Amino acid sequence: MTRILVFVEQSDGAAKRASLEALGAARAVSEEITAVLFGPGAGDVAASLGNAGAERAVVLGGSTESPDTLAKALADVVREQGAVAFLASATSTGRDLAPRVAAHLDVTPLSECTGFEADGAGYAVQRPLLAGKLIARLAPKGPVVVATLRRNMFAPFAGSGNAEVVDGPEVESGRITITGVEAKEGGKLDVSEAPIVVSGGRGLKESHNFSLIEELASAFGTAAVGASRAVVDAGWRPHAEQVGQTGKTVSPQLYVAVGISGAIQHLAGMKTSKVIVAINKDAEAPIFKIADYGVVGDAFEILPVLTEKVRQIRAEG
């Protein structure tokens, strides 16, 4: 019996952390969880998902990665398993697939959800609206709730035991053929996946001063560099690093905003971060309204000291 089907992304023999969070969100409301996986190595990862809350893992066959046919196969598994919810993480893959799955099931997709809970015989979600000013609770009426879950909002489940592995349908070849995947910059953490994000804004004055942001990020060890739109528009940083309404949404354990004023469009992308630290020379900057810790001062004086301190603390273990 499956109540919730969770799409699990995997590579190099491991499930993505974002997918484990989606499994955790599902497991918090039901024990009848089936994971569904696809791609090279999926069979090796499948059984281990028992540790992450899945009772069963369906491994789709075929080698095409075309989202149109993959979504059709996922919708078929939803029907076969009799699931009443389909969850994916709000990664670029999840955001691509979920609306297609919803279309196959003739229901409305719910994106970037920050809450998932039982609602009678079905499920309800919470999702931010109007750049995070409102949180809507939605309890869809259709037969299946299809939702993507925002990363870093749900804790993975820590269990034990293997999931029962089941062969799923073949994914047929579709309209898109992916001929290869190349990592852009080896080892660089993506801003939406990193547990710590150090972001810089126009207060850094010039693009080369971002070396101060990079040094602090590197001192933390597991941090990614983020940026406000102002500096992306100025060509100082790539769009992939932009945090905000028209950039990426992040929810790291720690978000450090340096020389960023805290415009509503920036806040929309980072206000759900667990701990927010702001460094800004203007004590009235709006970023301080949502910061847990604020340092009023010149970034050029504070960053080298802070970086040194972080290095020292990490070296001391």
Ligand X SMILES: Cc1cc2nc3c(=O)[nH]c(=O)nc-3n(C[C@H](O)[C@H](O)[C@H](O)COP(=O)(O)OP(=O)(O)OC[C@H]3O[C@@H](n4cnc5c(N)ncnc54)[C@H](O)[C@@H]3O)c2cc1C
Residues in contact with ligand X by the rule CB under 6 A: 201-203, 228-231, 242-247, 259-261, 263, 265-266, 269, 279-282, 285, 298-300
Q: Pick the closer one to ligand X by CB: 185 or 206.
A: 206
Find the shortest distance in angstroms from Cβ 303 to ligand X: 9
By C-beta, is 39 or 247 nearer to ligand X?
247
Find out whether 245 and 131 touch, Cβ atoms under 8 Å: yes
Paired strand residues for 73: none
The residue among 23 and 250 lying less far from ligand X, judged by its C-beta, is 250
Q: How far is the CB of 309 from ligand X (least distance, A)?
A: 18
* Pair of tokens at residue 257: 């905003």
CA-based angle 134:136:138, to the nearest 5?
175
Q: How far is the CB of 70 from ligand X (least distance, A)?
A: 29
Contacts of 7 (CB under 8 A, 6+ apart): 19, 22, 35, 36, 37, 74, 86, 87, 88, 89, 94, 97, 98
C-alpha distances out from residue 266 to 199, 242, 261, 263, 294, Å: 11, 9, 9, 5, 17
- We find the least distance from the C-beta atom of residue 202 to ligand X, in angstroms, to be 4
**Pick 89 or 242: Cβ nearer ligand X:** 242
How far apart are CB 140 and ligand X at their closest, in Å? 28
Calculate the alpha carbon distances from 24 to 11, 30, 89, 193 in Å: 19, 10, 11, 17
**Nearer Cβ to ligand X (84/250):** 250
Cα separation, 276 vs 272, in Å, equals 9
- Write down the residue that tokens 């999926």 correspond to: 42
- Of the pair 33, 258, the CB lying nearest ligand X is at 258
Closest approach of ligand X to the CB of residue 270, in Å: 9
Beta bridge partners, 136, equal 127
The residue with its CB nearest to ligand X is 244
In angstroms, the CA 265 to CA 304 distance is 28
Nearer to ligand X, 47 or 295 (CB): 295
Q: Is 88 helix (H, G, I), strand (E, B) or coil?
A: strand
CB of residue 112 to ligand X, shortest distance in Å: 14
